[in-house]
Amino acid sequence: MTEITEDNGLTLEELSKANPKISNIDLIYVGQQINLHKIEPHFRTK
């Protein structure tokens, strides 16, 4: 996962948030889809 994050300008935290179905970020299976989009925080406005 570290190589994926470095190649795409993401942190491990950003990558794990974008891929909540991956329970172990150190274990990726061949053919598994990895989302590379950052999840932007949502803010509530009054």
User: What are the pLDDT tens digits along the chain (46 aa)?
Assistant: 788 888 988 888 888 888 888 888 778 788 888 888 776 655 555 5
Compute CA distances 1 → 22, 31, 36, whole Å. Answer: 11, 14, 11
Instruction: Report yes or no: 18 and 39 within 8 Å, Cβ to Cβ.
Output: yes
Other C-beta atoms closer than 10 Å to the C-beta of 15 total: 22
Q: What is the pLDDT of residue 19?
A: 86
Verdict on whether the full-model pTM lies above 0.85 = no
pLDDT of the residue at 28: 79
Backbone angles phi, psi at 26, to 5 degrees: -90, -5
Domain of residue 13 covers 1-46
Residues near 5 by beta carbon (within 8 Å), at least 6 away in sequence: 11, 12, 14, 15
Domain count of the chain?
A: 1
What is the predicted pLDDT for the residue at 46? Answer: 58
pLDDT at 39: 66
- Which token pair is 35? 């989302």
